[in-house]
C-alpha cells in the first residue's frame, strides 16, 4: 500500500500564509501526496505551483459549518474548479439533517456536485458530514444522502468540530456506502499506525496535516488537526 497516495496534504488554518501554501505544495511534490488541501483563495497559487505534476488540488466549500445557502456553495465550488481545483470537499447542512429535512440536505449536496462537475466532469466531490455531531443513525442517513446526491466520497470531519475521525465511524460509513462511494477520514490522524487503521477500516483517502510524520513514521504530539 502506498500510503502517500491516500493523503490530501492539508493546510486550512485561518492563519495560513502564501509562504506556507508554497511549502506544502513543495512537500506534496517531494512525498508524492495525492492532493494538497488548501483554502479557496489559495487554489490559483497551488495550481500554478503544481502545474505539470500529477498532484491534485483539494479545496473546501461551505467550510467549516456547512450552513451557507446551496447557491452560495455551488458558486464557490464552480469558481474553485475554474481556478484549478481537482477535488471539492463540501460540508453538509448539519442543522437540516438534525431537523430531518432530508430532501434539502440532498439538494444542497446535489447543487455542489452539479456545479463542480459542470465546470470539469473529472472533479471529485467529497461530502463532509461532521460525524462528531451525529448519532449512528444520522451517520447512516447522511451517507445514504451523499450516495443519492451523486457525490464521490463521504468524509468524516472538518477537523474544526468537537472531534475527528474514529474507526467506529469510518467502519459504519464504509458499511453503509459499500462500493457505491468511497470514504475519507480526517481530523486527528497524526501517525502511521492510526492512518493504517483508518485505511483498514475502509477509508481510501485521508485528510491530514501531519502527512510527513505519517509517511516517515515520526511521532507527533499535537493531535494532527488542520
Question: Could you tell me which residues come within 8 angstroms of residue 92 by beta carbon, excluding any fewer than 6 positions away?
Answer: 66, 105, 108, 109, 127, 128, 129, 130, 142, 145, 146
For cell 517531494, name the residue. 30
Give yes or no: 184 in active site.
yes
pLDDT of residue 189: 97
Candidate list 34, 78, 184, 210, residue with the active-site label: 184
Give residue 149's pLDDT: 98
Q: Is 191 a catalytic residue?
A: no
Residue 122 bears catalytic tag: no
Per the residue annotation, which of 155, 169, 174, 210 is the catalytic one?
155
The pLDDT, as a whole number, for residue 221 is: 57
What pLDDT score does 220 carry?
64
Upper half-sphere CA count for residue 219 (Cβ side, 13 Å)? 1
What pLDDT is stored for residue 217 in this prediction?
85
Which residue ranges of the chain lie beneath pLDDT 70? 220-226
Q: Which of 8, 87, 89, 169 is catalytic?
A: 89
Amino acid at each position: 500500500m502506498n500510503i502517500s497516495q491516500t493523503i490530501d496534504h492539508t493546510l486550512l488554518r485561518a492563519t495560513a500564509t502564501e509562504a506556507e501554501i508554497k511549502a506544502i505544495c513543495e512537500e506534496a511534490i517531494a512525498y508524492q501526496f495525492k492532493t494538497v488541501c488548501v483554502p479557496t483563495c489559495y487554489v490559483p497559487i497551488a495550481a500554478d505551483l503544481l502545474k505539470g505534476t500529477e498532484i491534485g488540488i483539494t479545496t473546501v466549500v461551505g467550510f467549516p459549518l456547512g450552513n451557507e445557502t446551496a447557491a452560495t456553495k455551488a458558486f464557490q465550488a464552480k469558481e474553485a474548479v475554474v481556478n484549478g481545483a481537482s477535488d471539492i470537499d463540501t460540508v453538509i447542512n448539519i442543522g437540516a439533517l438534525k431537523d430531518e429535512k432530508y430532501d434539502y440536505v440532498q439538494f444542497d449536496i446535489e447543487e455542489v456536485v452539479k456545479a463542480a462537475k459542470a465546470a470539469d466532469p473529472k472533479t471529485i466531490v467529497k461530502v463532509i458530514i461532521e460525524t462528531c455531531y451525529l448519532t449512528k443513525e444520522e451517520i447512516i442517513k447522511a451517507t445514504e444522502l451523499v450516495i443519492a446526491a451523486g457525490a464521490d466520497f463521504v468524509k468524516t470531519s472538518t477537523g474544526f468540530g468537537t472531534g475527528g475521525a474514529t474507526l467506529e465511524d469510518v467502519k459504519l460509513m464504509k458499511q453503509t456506502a459499500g462500493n457505491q462511494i468511497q470514504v475519507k477520514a480526517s481530523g486527528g490522524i497524526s501517525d502511521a499506525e492510526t492512518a493504517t487503521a483508518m485505511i483498514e477500516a475502509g477509508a481510501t483517502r485521508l485528510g491530514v496535516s501531519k502527512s510527513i510524520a505519517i509517511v516517515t513514521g515520526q511521532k507527533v504530539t499535537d493531535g494532527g488537526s488542520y
